[in-house]
Amino acid sequence: MLPWTASATADRLNDVRDTSLAKLVRDDVLELILHGALLPGQRINEPDIAARLKVSRVPVREALRELESSGLVVARKNAGVFVRQLEAIDVRELYELREMQDGYAASRVAALPAARRQPLARRLEAAIGVMNASVDSGDAQAYYAENLKFHWAIVEAVGNRQLLDAYRGVIQRLHVARLSNLSGDAGRRISIAEHLQIAKALRQGDAAACEQLARAHVTDAHARLIPPQQTGDTR
């Protein structure tokens, strides 16, 4: 579902000789978390993972330590390792960070020369078309996936690898909380209208407006969160 995980399985198979066992285990567990096979609050069974992947417990523990450092899992003394369940304050802080990242990226790409900006604008407009079709067909997952691609395309176009890594970390942590709680059609229609404004400002090369719209969009997305238990948004 996330843009950077689409070919993860194939990549792991192609690069297996050059990849440590711990990284293979980490990527496998990460994929389970991001696809909802391991849910927030669920305990991760180390022996089961080791047996399924036919590895020892050592790379499994190393992989889980790395996932813990990224904020996706949490280790509890004498209890085990669990998929992290975000509290409301965690979600708010992540959205605040994402607002800055999205705003910065939007400002940067809107200031690109037209020869680089226009193809990106067409890509974003195509994504909006897919989002609209997904809402029409009632396919929330397809809408959500294309929505992620829209924002990832903007951040990727900045060409800053450190920003990409930081943004990926924020999105992955928020993704775990959003999997089970996408807003209804009304919220998605509002979100699409906001996407249209961002794409228009980018096409016109209005960096200030593009930044302001991107920031407001993330703030509004947080405000549209469904309150009970899990938190998610239309994005």
DSSP secondary structure, the chain, as one string: --GGGTTHHHHHHHTGGGS-HHHHHHHHHHHHHHTTSS-TTPEE-HHHHHHHHT--HHHHHHHHHHHHHTTSEEEETTTEEEE----HHHHHHHHHHHHHHHHHHHHHHHTS-HHHHHHHHHHHHHHHHHHHHHHHHT-HHHHHHHHHHHHHHHHHHH--HHHHHHHHHHHHHHHHHHTT----HHHHHHHHHHHHHHHHHHHHT-HHHHHHHHHHHHHHHHHT---SSS-----
- Helix (H, G, I), strand (E, B), or coil: what is residue 80? strand
- Greater model confidence, 1 or 103: 103
138's tokens: 């009632």
Max Cα distance, the chain (Å)? 57
- Greater model confidence, 110 or 144: 110
> What is the reported pLDDT for 217?
96
Instruction: Give the separation between CA 175 and CA 44, rounded to whole angstroms.
Output: 18
- Greater model confidence, 182 or 214: 214
Instruction: Give the separation between CA 106 and CA 30, rounded to whole angstroms.
Output: 28
pLDDT at 106 over 90: yes
> What is the reported pLDDT for 235?
53
Cα 60 to chain centroid, rounded: 24
> What is the reported pLDDT for 59?
94
| Reported confidence tier of residue 31, pLDDT bands at 50, 70, 90 | confident
Place of tokens 């020869």: 115
> What is the reported pLDDT for 230?
42
- Helix (H, G, I), strand (E, B), or coil: what is residue 75? strand
pLDDT at 232 over 50: no
| Domains, the chain | 3-83 (1.10.10.10), 88-223 (1.20.120.530)
Give the tens place of pLDDT for each residue, 144-185: 889 999 999 999 999 999 999 999 999 988 887 776 555 567
Taking residues 102-130, report their average pLDDT: 97
> What is the reported pLDDT for 141?
81
Taking residues 128-145, report their average pLDDT: 91
pLDDT at 74 over 60: yes
pLDDT at 3 over 50: yes
Does the model's pTM come out above 0.85?
A: no
